[in-house]
Structure 1
Amino acid sequence: MTTLTQSEPSRSTSAPGEHGPNRRQIKPLTVLRFFLVLVGACVMVLPFLMMVSTSLEPNTATLPTPPHIFPLNFTTENYSEALGSSNFGLYFLNSLYVAVLTTFFVVLISSLTAFAFARFDFRFKNVLFGLLLAGLMIPGIVLIVPQFVLAKTLGMTDSLNGLVFFYTAGQIAFTTFLLRGFFERVPKELDEAMTVDGTTVFTRFIRLYLPLARPALATAAVFAFLGAWDEFVWALTVISDADKRTLPLGIAAFQGEHGSAWGLVFAGSTLAVIPVIIVYVAGQKHLISGITAGAVK
């Protein structure tokens, strides 16, 4: 006679306190990295928050002590006064004009130059590219005097178009280096297939290379815009006409005029940061992928 026995329920062999196989343990190194990133974010953000807070308070002769990130006496008078005085609106438009044109010409010229270096073989190709990169090793402050002589010779002092010219020339080398790496990663088979179909070089550049290099183009555009928007030393050197001042020059003069009105000064600085934030947020996705990946979709 066969005896049927029920099997006992299986007992867990894991010791008390052990985690299940699907539960992830938080590593100390991960916690340390998170803490360091958090500290770095606070260091970067807190000064900006204090600037905005001070701009939303009545003008004072001294900075608030201790500093705070929330306004104690909220007011928008500083922004109204900043926008309505000292030609602030004109300075803003001047900077916008210079930054937008610089971005356009930098991306246009650098993309064509990078395409030539990436896909064509010509005499002294590597030498020319090396000379282009060698310009990146020269500090910009060293070039102030020869650039000023050149600007004066060409009649580009006290000229917004002159700023666009020199800003564009100063950023072409780096942007070409950035875009060339992307263009070289475009599969040659796609280029050859379009060539067989009878497309021209310019058509391949527009329909093949530019769409695939969109992250790099967005990165180049963001860098070009920020470089032109924030530049101060060269504009201070060649611009003496008050009506041709860019926003950094206007804020410097504004601060000298209202040296003790910190709320007014910080209101102008906050307004100057807004376009930078908009451009960065708009291109953030492509900016990150353009810097870190460098791959072709």
Structure 2
Amino acid sequence: MDSQDSGWRGKFAGFALGLSIFAVLWFAVAALGTKFGVWDYGFGLGKMMGNVTAGYGRFVIGAAALASITAIVVSLVAAPRKRALMLSLGALLIIALVGFRWMGFQLNALRLPPIHEAQTDWSMPIQPSQALLDVRTAAKASNAVEDAPTVPQAPGIEKNWPGTGGRLVSELQEEAEYDPARQKSPKDALYPAIAPLIEPAVSYDMAYNAVLETVKAHGWEIVTADIESGRIEATHTSGWFGFKDDILFRIAPEGDGSRIDIRSISRVGLSDLGMNARRVGGLLTEIDGRLK
């Protein structure tokens, strides 16, 4: 192989590299366009990103991968060209990283329950304030805040998550949580263990302030903070797509101590990819640490 100009093979390798870079930009635009309201999440996530059976993402990745592999082959036949090969390998590396990331997203969605919220105690669900309901209505949130939500019954759900349609979200959350009787380690479970945080030696005021400090530390938008009712509500906005999740806290006296409950619910989308459960579990640990 030599380093001379690779002619048409070098140009084709450059085209393959450009196509791989275009794929990166395609998915970035899909996310940022959704975040800034250029289009809704159904188009950005469902159409532009898509999955293995629908949407445009599979074609973008497939075209870039095919061009990269073809460029590698033609750079090696007859009179091999180093420059063309390097460009082709670079193109393949980029699209491989994009493809693995994209496929990992799909596989992760299928292994997790098709639910978009989690909370510490479904027997006493945290009720949203009217202020939060108004915010969700203004934002056209498609996911209702219910006491006993169920997974919708639809052909797509039955195909991808058999047996989950019509079931209670609380049941699916419990089945996904870490249980020492079923798993050796929390890492083996889909969700962390989620339960109310009981602090026997922590006063109500201390518990409330610890929750409020935690919310402020995350930089979330605070919707409600009322020490009289023990209610704190905040909104988290994701970095890329700008998806909004509402986090509700309920602080109450418990004997001589206090009790903290948390509910986290996405405004749109069927599955949260386990984010709300991980958030609730992480917040419980974080708040408990503040109170030690």
Do both share a fold (TM > 0.5)? no
Normalising by structure 2, what TM-score? 0.24
Higher relative CO (Cα under 8 Å, sequence separation at least 6) belongs to 1
Q: Of the two, which has the highest radius of gyration?
A: 1
